[in-house]
């Protein structure tokens, strides 16, 4: 070993003894000292990363391994792939320019994007409120990943062995049930706006999209039947509990006494009728009852 290399290694030893992470010197040293260290490394070794390699920290090929590359990415609450603060450190250590970094991480980024889609599936199934249009509007970046890696929403679901019609049926009863679920949600919205004056619709909060929010804080969800809330595939209440303790679920089919399930008060929509009658909107009561009768006659189930 030459004297110059030995001297440089002694400098690294001193930095380590003083508590400096020599793989992240840019974060620890004043800019002048950092530049002086890098210049000396380039003069003696050709690059700072080569100095660390000969010091014994990295593989001799000077290429970051898979674990290091994976640490450069994270998945946000909106299922977007984001670069972490490890990127400048890794580029510094391995003397990577932006183009080289993109080339090295192309396969990793692809896998993390697919991981984001998998995380979305596990969090959101059975995809309440998320037909293609709503998915595209609510999670535009994730939708881009879906188109890139699967082509269509239908193909994405097929990869999990789930039919498009089944997955988008918020009450698990087929296309007609999905359609009626959205019709019930629309009619419930009319009622809530009449009673409360305003009802925010599909406002995204964290990883949740409640059907309605009234009085600023009270979350409301619409279900065709009360039984849906017990289905193990439906994680609505579990997800909502992380953001609110005021949740009311209104349902249409199978009228029963009010009950509580975890944080949710579960009520038949008819419990709103007296409030409608007080404001002279018996027409909305009749409209809802006609809707319920129609889907009962066709034996819609949740």
Tens of pLDDT along the chain (302 residues)? 556 888 888 888 888 888 888 887 877 888 888 888 888 888 888 888 788 877 777 554 467 888 888 889 999 888 899 999 889 888 888 878 888 888 889 989 998 999 899 888 776 666 655 667 777 888 899 999 999 999 988 888 888 777 666 555 444 344 455 577 778 989 999 999 999 988 888 887 876 788 899 988 899 998 888 776 665 445 677 778 888 888 999 999 877 788 888 888 999 999 999 999 999 999 999 999 999 988 875 343 33
Q: What tokens were used for 27?
A: 């974060």
- Are residues 139 and 61 part of one domain? no
Instruction: Give the Cα separation of 89 and 49 in Å (integer).
Output: 11
| In a shared domain, residues 132 and 99 | no
Are the C-beta atoms of residues 247 and 264 closer than 8 Å to each other? yes
| pLDDT tens digits for range 95-152 | 788 888 888 899 899 989 998 998 887 766 666 556 677 778 888 999 999 999 999 8
Instruction: Centre a 10 Å sphere on the Cβ of residue 290 and count the other Cβ atoms it contains.
Output: 10
Percent of the chain beyond pLDDT 90? Answer: 25
Predicted pLDDT of residue 275: 94
Q: Structural domain tally of the chain?
A: 3
Query: Residue for token digits 């949600």?
Result: 185
Determine if the peptide bond prior to 126 is cis (ω within 30°).
yes
pLDDT value of residue 62: 64
Contact 181/171 with Cβ under 8 angstroms? yes
214 is a domain residue: yes
Same domain, 163 and 181: no
258-286 tens-digit pLDDT? 888 888 899 999 999 999 999 999 999 99
* Domain boundary residue, one of 106, 130, 146: 106
Q: Do 183 and 282 fall into the same domain?
A: yes
Tokens of 266: 């579960």
Same-domain status, 61 and 137: no
List of residues 6+ apart from 17 with CB closer than 8 A: none
The answer to whether residues 65 and 143 belong to one domain is no
pTM of the model: 0.46
Domain of 248 in residue numbering reads as 175-297
Is 242 in the same domain as 134? Answer: no
Q: Do 293 and 185 lie in a common domain?
A: yes
8 Å CB contact between 269 and 288? yes
């Amino acid at each position: 070993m030459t004297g110059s290399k030995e001297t440089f290694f002694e400098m690294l030893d001193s930095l380590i003894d003083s508590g400096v992470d020599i793989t992240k010197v840019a974060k620890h040293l004043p800019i002048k000292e950092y530049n002086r260290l890098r210049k000396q490394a380039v003069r003696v070794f050709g690059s700072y990363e080569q100095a660390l390699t000969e010091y014994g920290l990295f593989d001799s090929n000077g290429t970051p391994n898979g674990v290091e590359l994976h640490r450069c990415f994270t998945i946000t609450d909106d299922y977007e792939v984001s670069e972490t603060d490890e990127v400048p450190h890794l580029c510094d250590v391995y003397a990577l320019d932006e183009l080289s970094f993109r080339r090295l991480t192309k396969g990793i980024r692809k896998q993390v994007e697919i991981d984001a889609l998998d995380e979305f599936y596990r969090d959101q199934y059975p995809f309440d409120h998320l037909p293609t249009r709503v998915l595209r509007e609510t999670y535009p970046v994730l939708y881009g990943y879906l188109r890139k890696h699967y082509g269509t929403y239908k193909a994405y679901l097929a990869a999990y062995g789930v039919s498009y019609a089944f997955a988008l049926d918020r009450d698990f009863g087929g296309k007609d049930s999905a359609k009626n679920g959205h019709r019930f949600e629309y009619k419930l919205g009319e009622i809530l706006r009449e009673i409360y004056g305003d009802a925010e619709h599909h406002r995204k909060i964290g990883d949740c999209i409640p059907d309605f929010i009234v009085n600023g804080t009270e979350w409301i969800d619409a279900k065709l039947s009360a039984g849906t809330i017990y289905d193990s595939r439906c994680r609505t209440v579990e997800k909502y509990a992380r953001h609110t303790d005021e949740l009311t679920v209104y349902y249409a089919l199978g009228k029963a006494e009010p009950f509580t399930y975890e944080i949710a008060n579960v009520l038949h929509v008819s419990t709103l009728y007296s409030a409608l009658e007080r404001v002279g909107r018996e027409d909305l009561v009749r409209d809802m009852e006609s809707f319920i009768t129609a889907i009962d006659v066709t034996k819609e189930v949740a």
